[in-house]
A and B are shown apart, each in its own frame.
Chain A
Amino acid sequence: MTEKQNVPFLEVRDLVVHYTSEGKEIHAVNNVSLTIEKGQTLGLVGETGAGKTTIAKSILRILPEPPAHVDQGAILLEGRNLLELPAQEMQKIRGKRISMIFQDPMTALNPVMRVGEQIAEGVALHEKVSRAEAEKRAQEMLEMVGIPASRYRDYPHQFSGGMKQRVVIAMALACSPDILLADEPTTALDVTIQAQVLDIIKELQKKLNTAMIMITHDLGIVAEVCDHVAVIYAGEVVEFGNLEEIFDHPAHPYTIGLFGSLPDINSDVERLSPIAGMPPDPSNLPKGCAFSPRCPYATEECSRQKIGLDKIDGTHLCRCINRGKEE
């Protein structure tokens, strides 16, 4: 599927991650493979608990181990497997080549450290510059996300939620990373602030030519910022494609269900049609297709064995054996 002629910029290959909780194995990520090229944005879409954040944290290797454990797979940055790097090498990559914007700005900042210093800290570490230069760079970053540089010496509690998220963004982008992992960067924010924050991220991404993985459950955000979309269900990619393929020709029943549960301003329907049932228990996944218990098109065959990810056309992949039969 990927460009065979050269190595993809970042490739996640066959990643399997599980958590251990009270003796039970929780299968958070099951055989996920993804690729992303420089400057592109890949959307990871799925319900809460589908394993999106776990994928992002495995890329940075900041999963709490234990309880988390990466069982197999490789994460290749320009062909180099990050999972096998020694801890010190990995520290040089974190924050410099790959950085992350966290979901909850309220808790992502150290409450007893000045916000400017929290930004400058990473700069001083990776760019090998003097304190004064790091401070200057941090002030520029603050200005870039729309916070006056004079607030460098303020503490997080003096900022609103939206401003804190902008500080988190400034922190993530301070060393001009090659890849930005944005983990639901707008979920904890007001709707009015969401658009601002997205604009900031998009603008900075363009300016710095950063590749981005945008984790979200909001299809509106996907439509706005992403080039490619991977739909994640129960720790698996169930559908992958570019924006048109996913939005205009959704193929997997789960993706179709996601669109069905969105309110549409143009059509006049009495009720939304949510996906029936609950996501499967990740400690006890169904044997075949994980979505089959909730799927309106499921047949006996679906629960018999694992379903492969098939190519539809172009870059469009789908993990469903009944595709096309449902109509």
Chain B
Amino acid sequence: MKVKVSKKLISSAGGMILDVDLNIEPDSFVAVTGASGSGKTTLLRCIAGLSEPDSGYISFKERVWYNSSGKQSVPVRNRECGFVFQDYALFPNMTLRENILYACGDKKRTDEFISMADLSGVSHMYPDRLSGGQKQRCALLRAVSRGPKIILLDEPFSSLDGDTKKIFQSELLKWRSIFDLTVIMVSHDRAEVVRLAERVIQLKNGKVESDVSHKSGCPGMAAVIHSASRRVS
């Protein structure tokens, strides 16, 4: 995946330009970290097509999603991205199952996914009755159930406590391996991203400050998280 974007941003510290040029390996787990207002979420939104860069180029597996010079911009709905919003963005008028079905479009697969996520017991509940952890897992499941190639996560751990965080991490790794997903995760929680991601990109004032890869990730991390989540449940 090629991401080269430039966009003028207004932050609390004043104006700045998000200017990044990244090559992201397919099926990799990349974390983008940095202080608030450093351009992390805007970068994610540009990739998803929710915000338009001022200029640049975004392509995934030889398919161009955005090219400012050719005035080309693939609509959000046609990009193969799943997006997990910081505030979950679940639909309040739909139960958990209906949220997944809306994305997936197939009742049988919806029930399979819900069962795999161990959310059958709360599938009939509306979002306002779910806990924060359940909402977050539902948002993740909804995003992956559409069958995207990339999953984009915006601060997925920000409102989760220690135990639910581990369950969520375990599920993220599970869905990633099932669907061969490329994961791009934005988080200011550097400790968490270092544990999960194979590559950590640090942004500062819209520019890449550091870009560190550790190809193998943390050995056995998925197993550690999985066992922790089993202990919790």
Please determine whether chains A and B interact with each other in the same assembly.
no
